[in-house]
A and B are shown apart, each in its own frame.
Chain A
Amino acid sequence: MQVESSAQVAEQLAATGYLCDESLATVVFLAGRMQRPLLLEGEPGTGKTALAEALAQVAGVPLLRLQCYEGIDASQALYDWDFPRQVLHLRALEAAGGLGGQGVEEAEKSLYDERFLLARPVLAALQQAPAVLLVDEVDRADDEFEAFLLEVLSTYQVSIPELGTVRAAEPPLVVLTSNRTRELHDALKRRCLYHWVDHPGLEREVEIVRTRLPEVSAALARQVVDVVQRLRGDTGLQKPPGVAETLDWAQALHHLGCAELDLETAARTLGALVKYREDADRVKHALDRLLTS
């Protein structure tokens, strides 16, 4: 992505429907310029993953997503050899009588061909560069995996003993997201540009709803966002709604034919907004107050 300033980044992202504030645009701009991974932390539902998708769309490059989980290891992130196919290949050679004529060494060499290589997201990102590599919820992976990521992210190359080194022609833009279930190691953080993603303000969120869901009426969008923003201020909720929930709710209301928010429809569609029974009860009680004021 060739850009000259952070304002241009914000503009291009806005064209894909992702509205970001100035500081996030600056960080993205710096990540591109300094060729550093971007570490995004923040509440669930604040658009961390969506940013990576928007970036891939802006640059017109593939997005490769690596979802982390406990116990993930290098063979799921980098590459693996396709054992069953290798065996089949050997059997096929044998059946064709190729083993005798071709020589053992060549048969062996043909086993470690690129077509038997299963490229997992990190390797695929290096091969297909320029690309956007999204390492999602890196806090769920183990410490060992973090160390491995650190190694790849500092050199942007991977050595495969049987094939040689795969080096990215152009370093991919790497986006790491974390929900802070555990503190990431400092060494990994130091490699990255850090950004804390907050919930958007009222005006921006209205804008987001209007951009993402142009069919929803302006009045409804504003009312929905207004209620959501006030719910976020309420500390008693177990899971305050994120932007994704706002969009879901606005869409649900729109499908029920609402042009303006009314108490009854709002109560019926609460399932799109809050996902805990206790929260639903709480919001139901508060809706009256939220809608009239």
Chain B
Amino acid sequence: MTGLDGLDQRRAPDEVLLGFTTALRAAGVAVTHDRSAAFLEACAHVGLADAAAVRTAGRSTLCGGPDDLHRFDGVFEAYFDHRAGLPRPRPATPGAPTLTSLPETDADGAGESDDSDPVRARASDAEVLRHRDVATLSAGEKQRLAAQLARLRFRPPRRRTARHDRWHRGQVDARATVRASLRRLGEPAPIAYRRRGTRPRRVVLLVDVSGSMSGYADALLRVAHRLTHVPDARVETFTVGTRLTHLTRALSVRDPERALVAAGDTVPDWSGGTRLGESLQVFLDRWGRRGLARGAVVVVLSDGWERGDPTLLAEQVRRLQRIAHRVVWVNPHRGKAGYEPVQGGVVAVLPHVDDFLAGHSLATYSELCEVLSRA
């Protein structure tokens, strides 16, 4: 049993322990005041003589998930280290590049000023924009596209549930009938009917943010953000690339610009390589099989340029299809003239995919929403 080396005898233990919770908060663990209080209470029960017990007390009261546990251990060692005695400066983490939309520098109109009807010009602009490849847009067009993406129409898919709703035909609802009869002092009442209710079906988006997709990442994340904020929709978003990142929380910010900045801060592997098979495996092991992908509509937004082994990718997509309700693959290159699905990854996954869609323009994103609604 070893004591806490960092405990300064000249200071009150409360002060030292609260200093620790502050350091932990600075390291990114969401420590609230009631958690700090619970920590102090727990320490009072286990005593300060045993460092391992204090560590356990801290882990159980201050942490809320495996990520927190990892950070906790780092801070704990740094804070109560006998060599330093004081918290060491944390190594600076290189800031992730952030995504922001550029200011409008719309340079059109120079040669088109003879157009007499501005409304029609604008409308046909929008129509052209609908079919333009988003990777080739100018900054101003991107901003207009963003506004249109934020208005994308999406009706969340629904599934039947175990619970019933009242309905005018269907199964007899014995309980409601009895209750109605009770209301009439036991006299026979009209028979009530019920049917199975419905709930929104979960949609899981896996967005590829590797280098080959860099032209589309911004638009795809905007689509993800839009889908997340449609009322009643249950959308979970992950990015895949060299590693898997859970992005739902970052995208839950209502303002799309701020949400995209938050997403940029969260994702560590922008424009990196593609290890799609491995990322998918991690997704299935950590999230998918445990229930997130079960019965869900899973959308993979990727060009399928796999650097790793395509057989691994194929196997993972096959697993995914067995768990999920529907697997939709969206490939930005598919809608382009002369496209043939020849990349190793795409060829490997095609047999295991329910829908194979294009994803390079606004029109294709609307089509994606249609397909999702019908799933």
A interface residues, Cβ below 8 angstroms from B: 6, 22-23, 26-27, 29-30, 33-34, 36, 41, 44, 69-71, 83-84, 86-87, 90-91, 94, 139-140, 179-183, 186, 189-190, 193-196, 238-239, 278
Q: How far is the CA of A258 from the CA of B289 in the complex (A)?
A: 34
Distance from B181 Cβ to chain A, minimum over Cβ atoms (Å) = 7
Q: Which of B65, B175, B292 contacts A41 (CB under 8 A)?
A: B65
Known pairs A140-B291, A194-B59, A238-B319; A86 contacts B182 (CB<8 A): yes
Known pairs A6-B53, A36-B38; A181 contacts B59 (CB<8 A): no
Chain B residue contacts of A70, Cβ below 8 A: 161-162
Q: State whether the Cβ of B266 lies closer than 8 Å to any Cβ in chain A.
A: no
Q: State whether the Cβ of B290 lies closer than 8 Å to any Cβ in chain A.
A: yes
Chain A residue contacts of B186, Cβ below 8 A: 87, 90-91, 94
**Chain A: CB-nearest residue to B315:** A278
Q: How far is the CA of A199 from the CA of B292 in the complex (A)?
A: 23
Counting chain B CB atoms within 10 Å of each CB, the highest count among A30, A36, A180, A181 belongs to A30
Chain A residue contacts of B30, Cβ below 8 A: 186
Are the C-beta atoms of A87 and B287 separated by less than 8 Å?
no
Chain A residue contacts of B56, Cβ below 8 A: 22-23, 26-27
Chain B residue contacts of A181, Cβ below 8 A: 287, 290-292
Distance from B318 Cβ to chain A, minimum over Cβ atoms (Å) = 10
Q: State whether the Cβ of B35 lies closer than 8 Å to any Cβ in chain A.
A: yes
Q: Which of A6, A22, A190 contacts B32 (CB under 8 A)?
A: A190
Q: Which of B164-195 contact A (CB under 8 A)?
A: 175, 178-179, 181-182, 185-186
Q: Which of B46, B181, B292 contacts A6 (CB under 8 A)?
A: B46
Q: How far is the CA of A27 from the CA of B63 in the complex (A)?
A: 13
Chain A residue contacts of B178, Cβ below 8 A: 83-84, 87
Are the C-beta atoms of B162 and A90 separated by less than 8 Å?
no
Are the C-beta atoms of B65 and A182 separated by less than 8 Å?
no
Chain A residue contacts of B287, Cβ below 8 A: 181
Chain A residue contacts of B59, Cβ below 8 A: 23, 194-195
Are the C-beta atoms of B63 and A71 separated by less than 8 Å?
no
Chain A residue contacts of B161, Cβ below 8 A: 70-71
Ordered by A's residue number, 21 sampled pairs between the chains whose C-beta atoms are within 8 Å are: A6-B53, A22-B56, A26-B53, A26-B57, A27-B60, A44-B290, A70-B162, A83-B175, A87-B181, A87-B182, A90-B186, A140-B291, A179-B290, A179-B291, A190-B34, A193-B60, A195-B59, A196-B66, A196-B69, A238-B289, A239-B289
Are the C-beta atoms of A182 and B292 separated by less than 8 Å?
yes
Q: How far is the CA of A44 from the CA of B46 in the complex (A)?
A: 29
Q: How far is the CA of A74 from the CA of B57 in the complex (A)?
A: 32
Chain B residue contacts of A186, Cβ below 8 A: 30, 64
Are the C-beta atoms of B42 and A30 separated by less than 8 Å?
yes
Distance from A38 Cβ to chain B, minimum over Cβ atoms (Å) = 8
Are the C-beta atoms of A30 and B65 separated by less than 8 Å?
no
Q: How far is the CA of A182 from the CA of B292 in the complex (A)?
A: 7
5 smallest CB-CB distances across A and B, nearest first, come from A181-B291, A193-B60, A23-B56, A26-B56, A189-B64
Main secondary structure of the interface of B (DSSP, over half): helix
Q: State whether the Cβ of B52 lies closer than 8 Å to any Cβ in chain A.
A: yes
Q: How far is the CA of A30 from the CA of B46 in the complex (A)?
A: 8
Distance from A200 Cβ to chain B, minimum over Cβ atoms (Å) = 16
**Chain A: CB-nearest residue to B278:** A235
Are the C-beta atoms of A193 and B61 separated by less than 8 Å?
yes
Distance from A36 Cβ to chain B, minimum over Cβ atoms (Å) = 7
Q: How far is the CA of A113 from the CA of B39 in the complex (A)?
A: 44
Q: State whether the Cβ of B41 lies closer than 8 Å to any Cβ in chain A.
A: yes
Counting chain B CB atoms within 10 Å of each CB, the highest count among A26, A33, A83 belongs to A26
Chain A residue contacts of B144, Cβ below 8 A: none
Q: Which of B23-67 contact A (CB under 8 A)?
A: 30, 32, 34-35, 38, 41-42, 45-46, 52-53, 55-57, 59-61, 63-66
Q: How far is the CA of A238 from the CA of B284 in the complex (A)?
A: 9
Are the C-beta atoms of A34 and B42 separated by less than 8 Å?
yes
Q: Which of A23, A41, A44, A189 contacts B52 (CB under 8 A)?
A: A23
Known pairs A23-B52, A190-B34, A195-B59; A34 contacts B69 (CB<8 A): no
List 6 extra interface pairs beyond A84-B178, A86-B182, CB under 8 A: A23-B59, A27-B60, A33-B45, A34-B45, A83-B182, A182-B291
Q: How far is the CA of A23 from the CA of B290 in the complex (A)?
A: 26
Chain A residue contacts of B284, Cβ below 8 A: 238
Chain B residue contacts of A33, Cβ below 8 A: 45
Chain B residue contacts of A27, Cβ below 8 A: 56, 60
Chain B residue contacts of A36, Cβ below 8 A: 38
Q: Which of B45, B53, B182 contacts A90 (CB under 8 A)?
A: B182
**Chain A: CB-nearest residue to B284:** A238
Distance from B164 Cβ to chain A, minimum over Cβ atoms (Å) = 10
**Chain B: CB-nearest residue to A99:** B185
Q: State whether the Cβ of B163 lies closer than 8 Å to any Cβ in chain A.
A: yes
Counting chain B CB atoms within 10 Å of each CB, the highest count among A33, A87, A190 belongs to A190
Are the C-beta atoms of A194 and B60 separated by less than 8 Å?
yes
The contact string, 1 if C-beta is below 8 Å from chain A, for chain B 305-344, is: 0000000000100010000000000000000000000000
Distance from A174 Cβ to chain B, minimum over Cβ atoms (Å) = 14
**Chain B: CB-nearest residue to A22:** B52
Q: How far is the CA of A26 from the CA of B64 in the complex (A)?
A: 17
Are the C-beta atoms of A180 and B290 separated by less than 8 Å?
yes
The contact string, 1 if C-beta is below 8 Å from chain A, for chain B 59-99, is: 11101111001000000000000000000000000000000
